């Protein structure tokens, strides 16, 4: 039954049969709320039906009223008003105008009404009113197990759960979200918890692998219990939800079509950012806003990318000299940002003075609902209304719709290994709610260490947006502050991020069309992989479709449990290929090595050799990093990067298509299409550089049908304007190609003849290298490093094994005549570190050359200081690692404030000590004893200066075993003597641990700490 005009259908005899009273069966309650209503009231039987022209249907159930409105063929809205009065608390804040609704039809099937479009049918059962959704082919997507229900302040929908159904969403859920929420409870709302388990920037939306998603159109907090059954509740006595049908990407697309597609940041917004207070900073002494320029200059001096700076990031900071600051930053290729602690009243003037970034603050945006969303939109629009730039904001608490105006930032955290761990699933999981840009401060704003900063920066370089915050921790946290090797490693990753801007920017543009952000959980790209939704994939993510990132989140040089889904994956650093699905254990990950894999078939656009996007000129090359396998492609998106002209068509696209064998030998062709479209600054012509990971040398390379010259060495290739070079020692064998300057409006083709797909002509034949963990060398002392050589499907003969080491080291290569196919030989390579080699981890590159190729692998070894040769105070020894709960641990002083050497005399129970260590829980100090010490002695306790506060425990651990631990020690406890036999231990850890979840006063002293050594 269908009518093009408004139709009212009353159930025959309803009044006579008594059905106007709204009951849902035995024990159900009256629908209309009353003072004595029971705790849980369910909607009852349908008593009337109305069909408005086209797409809106109303169902009466006594005093209650439900309304179904179709927005698109696969999107509709269900509202329920228990008292029959519909309200719109969110107004037009979140849901955007959607245009003309689809034609919908209805049918009375006796026990139910069927409301349909060409794609879905919503069944509305009559007795009681209960909904179920089906695809056009009859597949059920969801079904209510009982009617919609409400209490005085909550409405709940209850759905059946499929046997294998998985759930994602809820926005930013700290510590989870990239794996399934099945059997979990997800809270949506602001809880002021920015740590693991909190949910800042949460979103009242979830999606199901059964083929649907739900958005609750409300500012009220939500609770989703993904049990059996599934219950989805909102803290309001009204029900208002939009439903989307399709797979996960379709649902995210439909949800962001409704609430707003993610914005396209300016290109500098995809560069790293820096923030601090520069005016009267209590933590850093008297400063002025223009002092920010000294930091900007330091980024340039250290050859480190940085796209923008917040110059007033600190409560009460304020600013001065804005136009001069903005101009100075621009001279360093940066833009100026401001923290909106005091609101947006002055935004217009600030933008006119040069502000291009606005960071919103929880102190004034309110509870994270309407006020926060309004703030995001106002700041975004304020930048655009007063400049030709694109809006660019950061927010710590937001709501549905904020993806269209800002970056969602997870708030103030303290840097640590655990902080790295729980942040990994957070940002990839948020992408399942249409949040395309989520991030956290590198190594937090408190705590942290050089090593955790470096590890955190590595993987966050594969997020679209990231910043570092200074001024709150014990010392500034710019990436150049830590000395070597950290500064060089940080520079390498920041410049890698910079070179990948064309790749990331293309995905950012894609998000404006699809709603799907660049950072993705494996479950989104591999929905049929049963492990993708589980903890097997929790601590890794995809950056775009081509990079799989598996961060190191423990203090180790080995990463275990890296799950690779179906397909061929290539180690970015070594060129080693893996065939998924597979789990990789024992991955060698020295401090400078982020476990990073590229999917075979990838064609990655890059800008080589730049510190800032502004380094690009009209003659700069575009590079393509190609991993040929089968047929694949990538579409590059380009515009001016800064203005809003792209919104009116000022942009260009260029597609690169790769044609290669599925595996093994054959020709490889890269077809680079014409760049289509125009924008200000577009390159009319440019040279191209291609890196093709073939694992085999081609017989010939042609560009646009012309034979290209083969060059005999890497040095000759680097010097030449055009040509090609095959480097068998680079990542398993790489072909490098340089073209002449070519017009961008014309297509061209690069052809490699008689080469192979990634993995070489004989896949699986390559030798792989590994090394045992925990290898140690002494500075200036001769030693050996073990390298395990594993042959592939063929014997490896004439194997030469060497190591690439730092300057001043000597290496004696080793040779093996033969390694049989499928077997491993351990080879000892002679190594003598330089006499002045600093203690700590060093990355060596193991290299092997053999009969049919070469391979390489980064490995970590540790350089040890000279072990004690006699009795030694712990405070006089080199500390291999030293983490501390507040400020640095002190030598021969109590723990002081945030600086070094600012503590006082060590004092326990009235006794002063000249020697010892002053720490603050949680603390861990590692020293190297080299097996030469027999005992450790000390007096321990909480320093007298704390006046009775604090509660800690002390422990001595060696080579992975706890040798001694104290009872609980308080500020009022007597001094505890320590006398621990070491029995030849090599590494000793002195730990102070908080025992009452309060760090207040936890100043633990290792007084008179001494090692007795031979």
In this structure, the dihedral spanned by the alpha carbons of residues 461, 465, 468 and 469, taken in order and rounded to 10 degrees, is -160
Convert the pLDDT of each residue in 195-220 to its tens digit: 999 999 999 999 999 999 999 999 99
Q: Are 607 and 616 in contact (CB under 8 A)?
A: yes
Helix/strand/coil for 297: helix
φ, ψ (nearest 5 deg) of residue 404: -85, -5
671-675, long-range: CB < 8 A, 24+ apart: 671/747, 671/748, 671/749, 672/624, 672/747, 672/748, 672/749, 672/750, 673/747, 674/744, 674/745, 674/746, 674/747, 675/638, 675/744, 675/745
pLDDT band at 495 (very low <50, low <70, confident <90, very high): very high
State how far the Cα of 213 lies from the Cα of 990, in Å rounded to an integer: 51
The residues near 830 (Cβ < 8 Å, ≥ 6 apart) are: 782, 783, 784, 810, 811, 812, 814
CB-side exposure of 711: number of CA atoms within 13 Å?
18
Task: Give pLDDT, residue 984.
Answer: 87
Q: How many helices (H) and strands (E) does the chain have?
A: 13, 74
pLDDT band at 282 (very low <50, low <70, confident <90, very high): confident
Convert the pLDDT of each residue in 290-341 to its tens digit: 999 999 999 999 999 999 999 999 888 999 999 999 999 999 999 999 998 8
Residue with the two structure tokens 């042959």? 791
Residue 750, token pair as written in the block: 């690069």
CA distance to 175, 190, 382, 918, per residue, from 398 (Å): 18, 8, 18, 42
First to last CA, the chain: 97
The full 3-state SS of 463-475, as one line of letters, equals CCCCEEECCCCCC
Task: Give pLDDT, residue 367.
Answer: 53
State how far the Cα of 393 lies from the Cα of 1012, in Å rounded to an integer: 58
State how far the Cα of 557 lies from the Cα of 775, in Å rounded to an integer: 11
State how far the Cα of 582 lies from the Cα of 579, in Å rounded to an integer: 7
Q: Are 1013 and 870 in contact (CB under 8 A)?
A: yes
State how far the Cα of 740 lies from the Cα of 691, in Å rounded to an integer: 15
The full 3-state SS of 570-631, as one line of letters, equals EECCCCCEEEEEEEECCEECCCCCCCEEEECCCEEEECCCCCCHHHCCCCCCEEEEECCCCE
In terms of Cα–Cα distance, which of 189, 608, 631 is closest to 397? Answer: 189
Element (H, E) at 499: helix 486-499
Task: Give pLDDT, residue 999.
Answer: 75
The full 3-state SS of 432-491, as one line of letters, equals HHCCCCEECCCCECEECCHHHHHHHHHHHCCCCCCEEECCCCCCCCCCCCCCCCHHHHHH
Residue 534, token pair as written in the block: 């589980």
Give me the mean pLDDT over the 636-664 stretch: 98
Look at residue 862 and tell me whether its pLDDT is greater than 80.
Answer: yes
Helix/strand/coil for 819: strand
Convert the pLDDT of each residue in 10-63 to its tens digit: 333 333 222 222 223 222 333 344 444 446 899 999 999 999 877 999 999 999
Give me the mean pLDDT over the 974-997 stretch: 95
533 vs 9: which has the higher pLDDT: 533
Convert the pLDDT of each residue in 84-129 to its tens digit: 999 999 999 999 999 999 999 999 999 999 999 999 999 999 999 9
The neighbouring-strand residues paired with 752 are 668, 701
Give me the mean pLDDT over the 136-159 stretch: 97
The residues near 96 (Cβ < 8 Å, ≥ 6 apart) are: 258, 259, 260
Task: Give pLDDT, residue 285.
Answer: 86
Task: Give pLDDT, residue 126.
Answer: 98
Task: Give pLDDT, residue 363.
Answer: 62
The residues near 869 (Cβ < 8 Å, ≥ 6 apart) are: 932, 1013, 1014
Convert the pLDDT of each residue in 917-938 to its tens digit: 999 999 999 999 999 999 999 9
Look at residue 233 and tell me whether its pLDDT is greater than 90.
Answer: yes
Residue 527, token pair as written in the block: 């929905």
Task: Give pLDDT, residue 372.
Answer: 83
Percent of the chain with pLDDT over 90: 86
Task: Give pLDDT, residue 18.
Answer: 28
Q: Are 889 and 920 in contact (CB under 8 A)?
A: yes
State how far the Cα of 878 lies from the Cα of 869, in Å rounded to an integer: 14
The neighbouring-strand residues paired with 208 are 167, 212
Average pLDDT, the chain: 93
pLDDT band at 849 (very low <50, low <70, confident <90, very high): very high
CB-side exposure of 641: number of CA atoms within 13 Å?
16
Convert the pLDDT of each residue in 879-920 to its tens digit: 998 989 888 899 999 998 766 778 899 999 999 999 999 999
Task: Give pLDDT, residue 365.
Answer: 52
State how far the Cα of 874 lies from the Cα of 749, in Å rounded to an integer: 66
Task: Give pLDDT, residue 448.
Answer: 92
Convert the pLDDT of each residue in 760-784 to its tens digit: 999 999 999 999 999 999 999 899 9
Convert the pLDDT of each residue in 526-553 to its tens digit: 999 999 999 999 999 999 999 999 999 9
CB-side exposure of 995: number of CA atoms within 13 Å?
19
pLDDT band at 976 (very low <50, low <70, confident <90, very high): very high
Residue 839, token pair as written in the block: 């203690």
């Amino acid at each position: 039954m269908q009518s093009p005009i408004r139709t009212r259908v009353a159930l025959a005899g309803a009044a006579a049969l008594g059905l106007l009273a709204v009951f849902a069966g035995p024990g159900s309650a009256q629908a209309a709320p009353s003072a004595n209503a029971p705790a849980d009231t369910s909607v009852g039987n349908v008593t009337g039906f109305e069909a408005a022209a086209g797409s809106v249907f109303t169902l009466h159930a006594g005093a209650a009223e439900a309304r179904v409105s179709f927005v698109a063929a696969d999107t509709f809205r269900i509202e329920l008003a228990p008292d029959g009065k519909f309200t719109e608390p969110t107004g037009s804040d979140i849901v955007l105008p959607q245009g003309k609704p689809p034609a919908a039809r209805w049918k009375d099937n006796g026990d139910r009404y069927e409301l349909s479009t060409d794609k879905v049918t919503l069944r509305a059962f009559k007795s009681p009113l209960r909904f179920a959704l089906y695809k056009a082919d009859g597949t059920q997507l969801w079904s209510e197990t009982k009617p919609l229900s409400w209490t005085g302040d909550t409405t709940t929908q209850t759905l059946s759960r499929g046997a294998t159904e998985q759930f994602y969403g809820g926005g930013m859920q700290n510590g989870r979200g990239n794996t399934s929420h099945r059997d979990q409870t997800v809270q949506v709302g602001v809880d002021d918890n920015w740590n693991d388990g909190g949910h800042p920037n949460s979103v009242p939306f979830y999606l199901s692998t059964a083929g649907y998603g739900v958005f609750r159109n409300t500012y009220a907090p939500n609770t989703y219990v993904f049990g059996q059954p599934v219950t989805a509740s909102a803290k309001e006595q009204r029900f208002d939800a939009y439903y989307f049908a399709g797979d996960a990407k379709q649902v995210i697309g439909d949800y962001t079509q409704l609430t707003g597609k993610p914005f396209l940041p300016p290109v500098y917004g995809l560069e790293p950012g820096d923030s601090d207070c520069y005016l009267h900073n209590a933590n850093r002494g008297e400063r002025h806003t223009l002092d920010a320029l000294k930091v900007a200059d330091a980024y340039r001096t250290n050859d480190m990318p940085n796209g923008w700076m917040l110059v007033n990031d600190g409560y009460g900071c304020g600013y001065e000299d804005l136009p001069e600051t903005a101009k100075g930053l621009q001279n360093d290729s940066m833009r100026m940002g401001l923290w909106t602690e005091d609101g947006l009243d002055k935004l217009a003037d600030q933008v006119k003075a040069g502000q291009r970034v606005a960071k919103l603050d929880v102190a004034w945006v309110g509870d994270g609902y309407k006020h926060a969303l309004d703030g995001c939109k106002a700041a975004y629009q304020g930048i655009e209304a007063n400049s030709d730039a694109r809006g660019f904001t950061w927010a710590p608490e937001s709501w549905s719709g904020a993806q269209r105006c800002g970056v969602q930032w997870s708030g103030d955290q303290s840097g640590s290994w655990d902080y790295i761990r729980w942040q990994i699933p957070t940002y990839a999981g948020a992408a399942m709610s249409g949040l395309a840009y989520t991030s956290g401060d590198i190594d937090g704003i408190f705590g942290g260490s050089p090593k955790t900063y470096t590890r955190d920066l590595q993987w966050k370089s594969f997020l679209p947006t990231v910043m570092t915050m200074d001024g709150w921790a014990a010392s500034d946290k710019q990436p150049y502050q830590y000395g070597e090797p950290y500064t060089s490693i940080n520079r390498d990753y920041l410049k890698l991020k910079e070179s990948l801007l064309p790749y990331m920017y293309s995905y950012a543009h894609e998000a404006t069309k699809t709603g799907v952000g660049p950072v993705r959980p494996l479950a989104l790209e591999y929905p049929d992989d049963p492990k993708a939704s589980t903890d097997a994939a929790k601590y890794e993510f995809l950056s775009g479709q081509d990079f799989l990132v598996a961060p190191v989140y423990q203090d180790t040089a080995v990463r275990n449990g890296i799950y690779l889904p179906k397909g061929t994956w290539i180690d970015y650093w070594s060129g080693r290929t893996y065939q998924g699905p597979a789990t990789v254990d024992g991955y060698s990950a020295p401090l400078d090595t982020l476990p990073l894999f590229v999917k075979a078939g990838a064609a990655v656009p890059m800008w080589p050799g730049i510190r800032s996007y502004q380094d690009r000129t009209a003659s700069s090359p575009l590079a393509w990093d190609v991993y040929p396998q089968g047929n694949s492609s990538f579409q590059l998106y380009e515009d001016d990067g800064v203005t809003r002209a792209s919104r009116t068509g000022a942009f260009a696209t260029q597609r690169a298509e790769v044609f290669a064998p599925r595996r093994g030998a054959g020709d490889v062709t890269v077809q680079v299409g014409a760049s289509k479209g125009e924008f200000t600054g577009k390159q009319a012509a440019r040279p191209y550089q291609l890196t093709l990971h073939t694992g085999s040398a081609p017989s010939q390379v042609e560009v646009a049908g012309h034979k290209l010259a083969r060059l005999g060495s890497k040095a000759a290739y680097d010097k030449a304007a055009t040509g090609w070079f095959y480097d068998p020692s680079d990542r398993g064998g790489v072909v490098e190609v340089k073209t002449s300057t070519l017009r961008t409006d014309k297509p061209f083709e690069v052809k490699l003849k008689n080469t192979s797909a990634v993995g070489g002509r004989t896949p699986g034949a390559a030798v792989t290298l590994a090394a045992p963990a925990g290898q140690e060398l002494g500075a200036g002392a001769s030693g050996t490093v073990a390298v395990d050589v594993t042959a592939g499907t063929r014997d490896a003969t004439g194997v030469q094994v060497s190591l690439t080491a730092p300057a001043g080291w000597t290496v004696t290569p080793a040779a093996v005549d033969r390694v049989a196919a499928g077997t491993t030989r351990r080879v000892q390579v002679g190594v003598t570190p330089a006499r002045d080699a600093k203690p700590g981890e060093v990355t060596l590159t193991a290299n092997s050359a053999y009969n049919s190729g070469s391979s390489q692998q980064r490995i970590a070894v540790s350089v040890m200081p000279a072990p004690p040769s006699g009795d030694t105070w712990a405070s006089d020894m080199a500390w291999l690692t030293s983490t501390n709960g507040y400020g640095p641990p002190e030598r021969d002083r109590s723990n002081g404030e945030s600086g070094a050497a600012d503590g006082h005399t060590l004092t326990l129970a009235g006794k002063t000590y000249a020697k010892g260590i002053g720490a603050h829980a949680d603390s861990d100090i590692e020293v190297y004893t080299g097996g030469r010490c027999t005992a450790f002695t000390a007096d321990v306790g909480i320093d007298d200066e704390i006046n009775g506060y604090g509660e800690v425990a002390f422990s001595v651990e060696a080579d992975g075993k706890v040798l001694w631990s104290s009872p609980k020690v308080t500020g009022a406890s007597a001094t505890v003597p320590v006398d621990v036999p070491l029995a030849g231990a090599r590494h000793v850890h002195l730990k102070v641990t908080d025992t009452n979840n309060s760090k207040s006063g936890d100043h633990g002293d290792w007084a008179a700490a001494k090692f007795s050594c031979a």
